[in-house]
A and B are shown apart, each in its own frame.
Chain A
Amino acid sequence: MGSWGFIGLAYGVGSVALLLYLILLKRRLRGAQEELAALEGDGGRRTR
């Protein structure tokens, strides 16, 4: 593997790690928001 191959690998791994974290974070956020909406939506209805 040439010099630029290693450089590409290093920056590639870094970018992929970052992107994966970002994607997973977005997914977690979406899931948590759905859960919250379900809890608060239901709860709101029950008091009526």
Chain B
Amino acid sequence: MSAQAEGMVVGLLRRTWAMTWKDVTVELRARERVNAMLFFAALVLFIFNFALGPDREKLREVAPGLLWLAFLFTGILGLGHSFQAERENECFEELLLTPGDRESIFFGKLAGNVLFMVTAEALILPLFGILYNLDIWAYLPSLALVAFLGTLGFSTLGTLLAAMTAHLRAREVMLPLLLFPLTVPVILGSVRATEGILAGGGLGEVSHWLKLLGGFDLIFLVVSPLVFEFVLEE
């Protein structure tokens, strides 16, 4: 790689890290995002139990779907907050003044969102295993891989759409309304893969779902930063 290209990549990484670090430190101080996400997820897991009744077998059948419902609702909650600080303090213009490309802003925000969502998932998963009596520890590496791929895909489009809806009327409704239909491949892929893994199938059996998740992630990791600049400008 030429020196110039190398310099550009380093610059991109450094600016991305700066953006992520800013979001993380803000969260560490206020702790409102992850707290809200965790509480909501616990609530969801509990309520599903009441809604679906005491039949153990039925619950085990739908468990992967329930897990991902908890992940996704929690994720949406977190995504809704991701541009909150900028919107409230009207820092959008300041974001644009920071030297550097829009791509690093996008990746920085994305990394922060993925970090928060994965943190929440890491805490939700054991709770889920306990409440629904599932042996998640045996399959942890595979489950983690699926969770990461799904979270990445969901957060990629989620970050883009969160930036778009931050300014809108009825934005709490618009973000899920726009994001969920677009992320159906992620939802289906993640739930089916999780289902296959918990049934003891192993990664080989669910490889086509993993490929779908990987393909989705790749396509939108490339396209989203490219169109992100059109979302930020004004």
* Direct touching of A and B (C-beta under 8 Å): no
User: Hey, which bits of chain B sit against chain A, CB under 8 A?
Assistant: none
User: Hey, which bits of chain A sit against chain B, CB under 8 A?
Assistant: none
